[in-house]
Amino acid sequence: GNDITPAEMMQRADVALYAAKAAGRNCFQLYDASMDQARRDSRSLEVDLRNALIDGVGLYLLYQPIYDAESGAIVGAEALVRWQHPVRGSLSPDQFIPIAEDRGVIAELGLWVLKQACGFAANSDLPWIAVNVSPLQFADPNFSDRVMGVLTQCGLAPARLELEITEGLLLQDSAEVKDTLAKLRSAGITIALDDFGTGYSSISHLRNHEVDKLKIDQSFIRMIGRDQAAATIVRSIIEMAIALDMSVTAEGVEDDLQRERLKKLGCSSLQGYLLSRP
């Protein structure tokens, strides 16, 4: 209506701006009341998340084993965060990681996950534990020191930690990020590139040997046996990884056909519902 205060007008403009950012930026959005609701929702989730991080109540990790493709032995596990929200029920990371990133809670959440996962691994006989890291966590210039601090605190050898990063992080082409990755790797931590194939051009980063391992995105694995082009891409990724002396994990392995094909193609390790749910 025409009867709103200037302050309300500014607030709505802010809400529309927020919606435009959420829509991937580089666009405009007209304010409407449903946006307000979405914003209030994410604001209240932010507050709840901050509270959950204070007492640790409701947040927990699931662990999904990763298997050697040849022997079938468990070679490691990936930590996947969950949130049992008091009102909204069980939330998957896709429902709160983006909010944590947006609202400046991801550094704290990421550190909490790292501590939990490393503590768990230190008291297990798992060869290693993989932890997902948001690109925003790398904005902290002390990130590598923090990680090393957690390892010391938990008594976990660096060789037993794997950090999963995404292609977007490498795409930033930042000297600070490269420096942090180099520090982590020289300390003995493994760096895996998650969801490989869904981002943009990581080939040059592979050529420069900036990561140790590729995780082929489950969208490709799902197409094995259905789509010839996808199968060819999977084969090429595996061959490339082998040639570059990197290991490859296939994500989202759901059936025997996929497992057998991947084994034949020389994929080093497998993860997915067929073998074990998180």
Q: Which residues bind Mg ion (CB under 5 A)?
A: 132, 164, 194-195, 251
Amino acid, single-letter form, for residue 269 = S
Select the residue interacting with ligand C2E from 150, 220, 249, 272 (CB under 6 A). 272
Q: Which stretch binds ligand C2E (CB under 6 A): 6-14, 49-57, 227-235, 245-253?
A: 245-253
Nearest-10 crossing angle of helices 143-154, 175-186: 20
The torsion angles phi and psi of 141, rounded to 5 degrees, stand at -65, -20
The whole-angstrom separation of Cα 253 and Cα 150 is 31
Rounded distance, CA 157 to CA 148, Å?
Answer: 10
- State in angstroms the smallest separation of the CB of 86 from ligand C2E: 20
Nearer to Mg ion, 48 or 195 (CB): 195
Nearer Cβ to Mg ion (150/193): 193
**Least distance (Å) from ligand C2E to the CB of residue 184?**
16
Restricted to residues 212-231, the positions that interact with ligand C2E (CB under 6 A) are 218
User: Which residues, including other chains, have CB under 8 Å from residue 62's CB and lie 6 or more apart?
Assistant: 79, 80, 82, 278
Nearer to ligand C2E, 16 or 77 (CB): 77
From 58, 65, 93, 168, residue interacting with ligand C2E (rule: CB under 6 A): 93
Q: CA 127, CA 110: separation in Å to the nearest integer?
A: 22
Q: Is 98 in the site for ligand C2E (CB under 6 A)?
A: no
Site for ligand C2E in 108-167 (CB under 6 A): 110, 113, 132-134, 164
Element housing 63 (H / E): strand 59-68
Q: CB-wise, 169 or 253, nearer to ligand C2E?
A: 253
Rounded to 5°, the CA angle 165-83-168 comes to 20
Residue 99 binds which of ligand C2E, Mg ion, none (CB < 5-8 A, kind-dependent):
none
**Partner whose footprint covers residue 119, from ligand C2E, Mg ion, none (CB < 5 to 8 Å by kind):** none
Q: Give residues with Cβ within 8 angstroms of 45, minimum separation 6.
A: 85, 88, 96, 99
Question: Tokens at residue 204, please?
Answer: 């040059």
Could you tell me which stretch among 91-99, 138-146, 232-240, 242-250 binds ligand C2E (CB under 6 A)?
A: 91-99
Least distance from C-beta 275 to Mg ion, angstroms?
15
Structure tokens at 214: 């590729």
Query: Rounded to the nearest whole angstrom, what is the least distance from the CB of residue 91 to ligand C2E in the complex?
Result: 10
Distant-in-sequence, close-in-space partners of 252: CB < 8 Å, separation ≥ 6: 217, 218, 219, 221, 222, 271, 272, 273
Task: Please report, as ranges, the residues that interact with ligand C2E according to CB under 6 A.
Answer: 64, 80-81, 92-94, 97, 110, 113, 132-134, 164, 194-195, 218, 251-254, 271-273, 278
